Amino acid sequence: MTLEGKKIAILIAPRGTEEPEFKKPKEAVEAAGAKVTVVGIEAGEAKTNNSDLDPGSSYAVDRKVTDVAASNFDGLVIPGGCVGADKLRADADVVSFVRSFFEQAKPVGVICHGPWLLVEADVLKGRTVTSYSSIQKDIKNAGGTWVDKEVVTDKGLVTSRKPDDLPAFCAKIVEEFAEGKHPEQARSAVA
């Protein structure tokens, strides 16, 4: 499956994004031929972490979220990490950016605590997703159906629970990005 000519955005927090959940999807999408843009709240570099908040590597932020639009991309990856996801969902520009992908019916891949951004963007009504188990109540309260599965695909939205699910998650996001727009994706963004 090829993503030649596709442009994919991947979010990163200033500090606290889970490194494997950032690095592995980025590598998978690039290996399939897509051009990946790292989008962050701040310019410069963002420091990741690994499980139990052990320090991870730093990654360059290609563009600030205030300098891009969903219309510039064919898909979006939202990595997890409880600290990083919490910082991202607290930023109104990030939440608006995420919501725009749904409004434009573009595929989105989200793992671990990343669905917190979907809760904030108010795009989970009627959707079936998975996530890190500790945020399942947040998903249910936002109108989503939570299931405990390695990977869940719902009309262009791909979700997974944790780093152990990355092989299935990466394969599925490549597939969904290759398929392109999913008209049903926009329905969950209607207010």
**What are the catalytic residues?**
112-113
**Cα angle value 90/105/45 (rounded, 5°):** 40
11: part of which helix (H) or strand (E)? strand 7-12
Distance CA(53)–CA(32), nearest Å, equals 30
Distance CA(8)–CA(139), nearest Å, equals 25
Question: What residues contact residue 156 under an 8 Å CB cut-off, 6+ apart?
Answer: 105, 106, 107, 108, 176, 179, 181, 182, 184, 185
Distance CA(110)–CA(88), nearest Å, equals 13
Calculated CA dihedral for residues 94, 62, 33, 172, nearest 10 degrees: -30
End-to-end CA distance of the chain: 35
